Chain A
């Protein structure tokens, strides 16, 4: 009975949904070749940008205990090179590696050359130009400040176009394949393409102010929700799904045995893409995001353990009976550590999504450790393993030195340990110091700086870890170059396979079986799977007013404050300073001892973009206004370590030389009004007058205290002070109004 109903359902699904499918014609073999040249180009880009990205990361790491390592240059200051590092690693190193792996494996799994060589090369050069644009624009301070989506709108449009080219080439290749069924790796590639497209477009909605300047379409808590829906899923669908696809191809190839359980890989795929998309709000626990959305993020994060570990175990068990080879083969060593790191990071992620753990870990170095276990361990080591496997094959030779590869493995592993362990210790130590009260009920470490100074030795150790990891990568580069020179590059690898012809007969095997032969249908289902989570979380947060209670006293920024806020964004202050006081006694006591207010959604309604941040290397700034006088800020931004002894904040001498661009005031006001900030019609015409009055007030105030030193009111520092002094003043005003 059961078998009959099974057969009936299978046939039913097939007949209803799919009228025709492909069947192979085994007799006639077609000759063709695999394009190795495009893979080679992406590999070179991977290695070059990997070294650059790691070097920038190491520089940033050193600046965190030795601030003058920015050479007092604005282009190399921490706030600007941190996004350069993250973008270089994610999109240049990991991105290029992903494309190299996909182009190599996809051709072989589908038994065809890529759909179009021209599209492949447009994709390659387009992507490299985007990286170049990022490498120039980020140090220049052009940033949206939204993490991992910092690039400004013209580059965002270029990314969209190039991504479509990649997808077009991929889907085209799938459609003209010679293998009827799509191996599980291909599903992961499709999910990557579809989801990253959706994420990028939705999160990048912005209103342009000028060339290379825009404001996020969304404000405050809504912007935060969209950003972390994006941010979390960028990790999921840029750093994870494509690499799971690569794991499912390259690990069996390297181990020379099929994946442990193909059945498990099917469940792994669907459950992972279904669940991952919901978990974004775990980045916003204890924020002003409605509780229901936070809880949803936590629940789905816990659920994620199952598919993630399913995938990890599937990878590790693939080596059953071949563990002796792991001892000798560096490729397998790298892959084993990569998959293990994936398992650790995907257990840690859900644990960090528990509010109790998050309360300690969030905003600290713990998160930095967590992402680097994923980045250095999972992505980095899988990439190294793949490169060591693929380069000798593409050059028709064997690896130049297995010994050097083993050295790389051990130096890299030590690098990860030296990176992660100090960061875990540093995170927990600093967090506990932030929260410690004495018997009288006062904060023990009232001065935030005490907690920073305490963890500096850990920052030094972390830099050593990063240095070791980079050294390993340099050794690999040498080894791969020597390998390539020893062999002869096979640009077009000959292959042969039977063509597929369309027939009206079923291949059988049920609905999923048929699905795998229908790439477009497969892509649409993937799209539906990932859209459900996003829609259910976002629509209520946008449509229901009660989710963002307004505060009457919260007013739009003045023109001068707006300029100041844009300088704050340009300098990447958000990289070290949060603007989110969580509802903990320790935070309210530290950041708003007089008002006693934690953050409210209504405070952020005009914040395009939101600036909550994700890391506190310095203190939270949401209630900074009025805490110090203008002169303190003036001196502090110029000589931070003099004003606060031991501070690791860099100096910003250029703010005392550069002037704000008054011609941009009107376009800024107009752009913000279009996305809902209530500046009156025509205000842009008089905005600069208001700006000058406020600026003069601050500069005169400064001149008075500086006793003779002139301060030009149009200097950037004046605008920044105006903004810093505005922070948190609205909620203080509302409190005063309540008292009256």
Chain B
């Protein structure tokens, strides 16, 4: 049904494939990044709403370490 509806557009089949690929690649990369990212970076980010964020973690040290 889905295919028959869409086949009126030239090369329509490529659309959902491209969409799915973008979804898939993006989320794989995202999850991979989320699970491997530096804990200190996460710590710093989650403390951003708090004023003491700068004082508790030395930004320069963090930058150097995560490199």
Other-chain contact of B66, A26, A497, A508 (Cβ < 8 Å): A508
Give Cα A40 to B36, complex, Å.
42
Other-chain contact of A509, B23, B32, B41 (Cβ < 8 Å): B41
- Smallest CB–CB gap between A28 and chain B, Å? 13
Not counting A258-B50, A263-B35, A544-B8, a sample of 16 additional A-B residue pairs whose C-beta atoms are within 8 angstroms of each other reads: A26-B54, A26-B59, A252-B50, A258-B47, A267-B31, A270-B27, A274-B26, A292-B2, A505-B67, A511-B33, A512-B30, A512-B34, A532-B22, A536-B15, A536-B19, A546-B5
List, in ascending order, chain B residues with CB within 8 A of A425's CB: none
> Does residue B63 face the partner (Cβ distance < 8 Å to A)?
yes
Interface hits, B9-59 → A, CB 8 Å: 9, 12, 15-16, 19, 22-23, 26-27, 29-38, 41-42, 44-51, 54, 58-59
- 9 A-B pairs with the lowest CB-CB distances in the bound complex, closest first: A258-B46, A508-B66, A508-B67, A262-B46, A183-B48, A544-B8, A24-B59, A292-B2, A512-B33
B interface residues, tally (CB under 8 Å): 41
Give Cα A249 to B26, complex, Å.
26
Q: A24-B59, A267-B34 are in contact. Are A274 and B41 (CB under 8 A)?
A: no
Q: Is the CB of B5 within 8 A of A544?
A: yes
Other-chain contact of B63, A249, A253, A507, A511 (Cβ < 8 Å): A507
List, in ascending order, chain B residues with CB within 8 A of A506's CB: 67
B51 closest partner in A (C-beta):
A108
Other-chain contact of B49, A252, A290, A528 (Cβ < 8 Å): A252
Q: Is the CB of A509 within 8 A of B45?
A: no
Interface, chain B (partner A; CB < 8 A)? 1-2, 5-6, 8-9, 12, 15-16, 19, 22-23, 26-27, 29-38, 41-42, 44-51, 54, 58-60, 63, 66-67
A interface residue count range (under 10 / 10 to 19 / 20 to 34 / 35 or more): 35 or more
Q: A510-B37, A536-B19 are in contact. Are A6 and B32 (CB under 8 A)?
A: yes
Q: Is the CB of A109 within 8 A of B60?
A: no
Give Cα A545 to B63, complex, Å.
57
- Smallest CB–CB gap between A110 and chain B, Å? 9
Q: A262-B46, A497-B54 are in contact. Are A292 and B5 (CB under 8 A)?
A: yes
List, in ascending order, chain B residues with CB within 8 A of A508's CB: 38, 63, 66-67
List, in ascending order, chain B residues with CB within 8 A of A252's CB: 46, 49-50
Q: Is the CB of A109 within 8 A of B48?
A: yes
List, in ascending order, chain A residues with CB within 8 A of B38's CB: 508-509
* B-contact 0/1 string along A254-270, CB 8 Å cutoff: 00001100110011001
List, in ascending order, chain B residues with CB within 8 A of A498's CB: 54, 59
List, in ascending order, chain A residues with CB within 8 A of B67's CB: 505-508
List, in ascending order, chain B residues with CB within 8 A of A267's CB: 30-31, 34
- Smallest CB–CB gap between A394 and chain B, Å? 15
List, in ascending order, chain A residues with CB within 8 A of B47's CB: 258
Give Cα A94 to B50, complex, Å.
25
Q: Is the CB of A540 within 8 A of B12?
A: yes
- Smallest CB–CB gap between B57 and chain A, Å? 11
List, in ascending order, chain A residues with CB within 8 A of B51's CB: 108
Q: A26-B59, A544-B9 are in contact. Are A513 and B49 (CB under 8 A)?
A: no
- Smallest CB–CB gap between B8 and chain A, Å? 4
Give Cα A498 to B22, complex, Å.
38
- Smallest CB–CB gap between A526 and chain B, Å? 12
Other-chain contact of A262, B26, B31, B33, B42 (Cβ < 8 Å): B42
Q: Is the CB of B8 within 8 A of A532?
A: no
Q: Is the CB of A108 within 8 A of B8?
A: no
B16 closest partner in A (C-beta):
A536
* 16 A-B pairs (CB sep. < 8 Å): A24-B60, A105-B49, A181-B45, A181-B48, A252-B46, A253-B50, A263-B35, A266-B30, A266-B34, A267-B31, A498-B54, A507-B66, A508-B66, A512-B37, A513-B66, A540-B6
* B-contact 0/1 string along A13-50, CB 8 Å cutoff: 00000000001101000000000000000000000000
Give Cα A255 to B49, complex, Å.
12
A539 closest partner in B (C-beta):
B9
List, in ascending order, chain A residues with CB within 8 A of B29's CB: 511-512
- Smallest CB–CB gap between A442 and chain B, Å? 35
A265 closest partner in B (C-beta):
B46
B36 closest partner in A (C-beta):
A6
Give Cα A105 to B48, complex, Å.
11
Give Cα A121 to B18, complex, Å.
43
* B-contact 0/1 string along A481-514, CB 8 Å cutoff: 0000000000000000110000001111111110
Q: Is the CB of B37 within 8 A of A513?
A: yes
List, in ascending order, chain B residues with CB within 8 A of A179's CB: 48
Q: Is the CB of B60 within 8 A of A271?
A: no
- Smallest CB–CB gap between A125 and chain B, Å? 29
Give Cα A108 to B46, complex, Å.
14
List, in ascending order, chain B residues with CB within 8 A of A6's CB: 32, 36
Interface hits, A523-566 → B, CB 8 Å: 528, 532, 536, 539-540, 543-547
List, in ascending order, chain A residues with CB within 8 A of B12's CB: 540
Give Cα A109 to B60, complex, Å.
19
> Does residue A689 face the partner (Cβ distance < 8 Å to B)?
no
Q: Is the CB of B16 within 8 A of A183?
A: no
Give Cα A43 to B48, complex, Å.
24
Q: Is the CB of B46 within 8 A of A540?
A: no
List, in ascending order, chain A residues with CB within 8 A of B46's CB: 252, 258-259, 262
> Does residue A291 face the partner (Cβ distance < 8 Å to B)?
yes
Interface hits, A89-115 → B, CB 8 Å: 105, 108-109
- Smallest CB–CB gap between B35 and chain A, Å? 8
Give Cα A108 to B47, complex, Å.
12
Give Cα A540 to B34, complex, Å.
36
List, in ascending order, chain A residues with CB within 8 A of B49's CB: 105, 108-109, 183, 185, 249, 252-253, 258
Give Cα A291 to B51, complex, Å.
52
Give Cα A259 to B48, complex, Å.
10
Interface hits, A165-219 → B, CB 8 Å: 179-181, 183-185
Q: A179-B48, A270-B27, A512-B30 are in contact. Are A543 and B2 (CB under 8 A)?
A: no
- Smallest CB–CB gap between B48 and chain A, Å? 4
- Smallest CB–CB gap between B30 and chain A, Å? 6
Q: A513-B37, A544-B9 are in contact. Are A271 and B27 (CB under 8 A)?
A: yes
Give Cα A185 to B48, complex, Å.
10
Q: Is the CB of B5 within 8 A of A540?
A: yes
Q: Is the CB of A543 within 8 A of B8?
A: yes
Q: Is the CB of B34 within 8 A of A263?
A: yes
Give Cα A258 to B12, complex, Å.
46
Give Cα A636 to B30, complex, Å.
61
Give Cα A347 to B37, complex, Å.
31
Q: A24-B63, A536-B19, A544-B9 are in contact. Are A513 and B41 (CB under 8 A)?
A: yes
A108 closest partner in B (C-beta):
B49
* B-contact 0/1 string along A263-300, CB 8 Å cutoff: 10011001100100000000000000011100000000
List, in ascending order, chain A residues with CB within 8 A of B66's CB: 507-509, 513
Which of B38, B45, B67 has the most A CB atoms < 10 Å from its CB?
A: B45
- Smallest CB–CB gap between A171 and chain B, Å? 19
Q: Is the CB of B30 within 8 A of A270?
A: yes
